[in-house]
Structure 1
Amino acid sequence: MYSLIFIIANLLTRFLPAALMGFVLFKTTSVEMFIRALEKMKFPNVLTIPLAVMFRFLPVVYQESQNIKHAMRMRGMMTLQAFLHPLRYTEMRIVPLINRVVKISNELTAASLTRGLSVDAARTSLIVFKMTATDKTIAGFLILLVLFYYVI
């Protein structure tokens, strides 16, 4: 019993901070800001384009999953029946999701290429990033925190 609790606690302490950071990133950052930040950090287009497509892709996949769940409820497939018929539940939930994911990924890739993400020429942007005093203070605090963690 204790080992199961420790395993769950270990997984939570490893993955929960990254998941929460990703959640905050998705909720507070627009796709344009994300792309501009990656370009400002001199990320190559080979990484920027897939990350931008993924940034647009994950919320759409979540929404499609919710739509499929609501459609299953309308057909009478509730959570209890999912436990009683796991293969049927998997077929009804995963197969439509995979079909939608493939179609949406093709659409998002075409939209990104249409917007000019693959062009190697310099692109312009309305978003300007500058380090403010608050940013420098937080960065300094985080550097000190990391140093104290590893040195002491």
Structure 2
Amino acid sequence: MNNGIEFKASKPDPRVLIFQVIVVASLNFVINRPIELLLLFLLMAILMLFHGMISIAIRFSITYLLLYIGNALLMYLKIPLITMMFTTLIFLCLRLFPVYMACIILIQKTYMDELLFALEKMHIPKVLILPLAVVYRYVPTIKDEIVQVRENLKMRGLNTSFIGILTHPMSAVENFMIPLLIRSGKISEELSAASLCKGLDTEHKRTSCTNVHFEIGDVIYCFGCIAVSVLFILINKSNIFA
């Protein structure tokens, strides 16, 4: 009787989601019209819904819609200097949104051990994998630290709101940023030590409890990314939304 336990890998494969990030980032260098960026954003929002990230997709959609409307209003009003400065900044944010969403899908849907195992199967040098492992754990940890610092400041009766930071920037740096920077330095050291304890610095081949490999669904997902990228390039070349 076979008493072995089979651990099923998460799907899609981590390499598929990495490929998706590369495709979305590449499209940002090709498309240059707001309507095309809007279509790319809608596609990423649909992918978030497909992966079950409903609340995150809603928050991104609301923020993107407000920025898009604000950019349209500034272009319509044409206020000297203000329109040029803020529309450039908003347009840059609109460009970064799809890439940021693709990275969030990668982080949310991929376990770190599977990601590292997949990267080693791609023959990525360990000198690059080790910093990635630290950063992968650092981002969610530092978010928790920001919440804790804000709670501590509130307990001391200090204003941590956005308006309070704008009105008292020096106090915000002293009361908020300094303890956060000190704590984040310690966190990075702890995460580096944890990664070394897991054997990420050894020369031996890394193993995984889950069977990380490409399946038919992963291949279809990759071809879908390629087809969508080709479609966006054709739309950009044909000047449909010019």
CA drift at 1:4: 4.7
Counterpart amino acid of 1:108?
L
- On the 8 A contact 2:117/2:207 being kept in 1, the answer is no
Query: Over residues 44-99 of structure 1, what are the superposed CA-to-partner deviations in whole Å (9 max), with x where a residue is unaligned?
Result: 10110000110011111111011001111111112243333210111111100111
Determine the C-alpha separation between the residues in 2 that align with 1:34 and 1:142. 20
Per the alignment, residue 86 of structure 1 pairs with 169
Aligned residues between the structures: 152
- The within-5 A match list for 1:1-152 is 1-2=74-75, 3-4=84-85, 6-78=87-159, 79=161, 80-150=163-233
Deviation at 1:8, TM superposition (A): 4.0
Runs of 4 or more, structure 1, over 4 Å off, are none
**Cα distance in structure 2, aligned partners of 1:62 and 1:105:** 13
* Pair 1:144–1:25, CA change in 2 (3 A): closer
CA-CA distance at 1:137 after TM superposition: 1.4
- Higher-RCO chain (CA-CA 8 Å, sequence separation at least 6): 2
1:13 maps to amino acid: L
What runs of 5+ residues in structure 1 fail to find an aligned partner?
none
In 1, Cα distance between equivalents of 2:214 and 2:198: 28
Q: Whole-Å Cα distance in 2 between the matches of residues 102 and 57 of structure 1? A: 10
TM-score by length of 1: 0.89
| Identical aligned residues as a percent | 30
Provide structure 2 residue ranges, at least 5 long, that are not aligned to the other structure. 1-73, 76-83, 238-242
Aligned-residue Cα RMSD (Å) equals 1.8
TM-score, normalised to structure 2, is 0.58
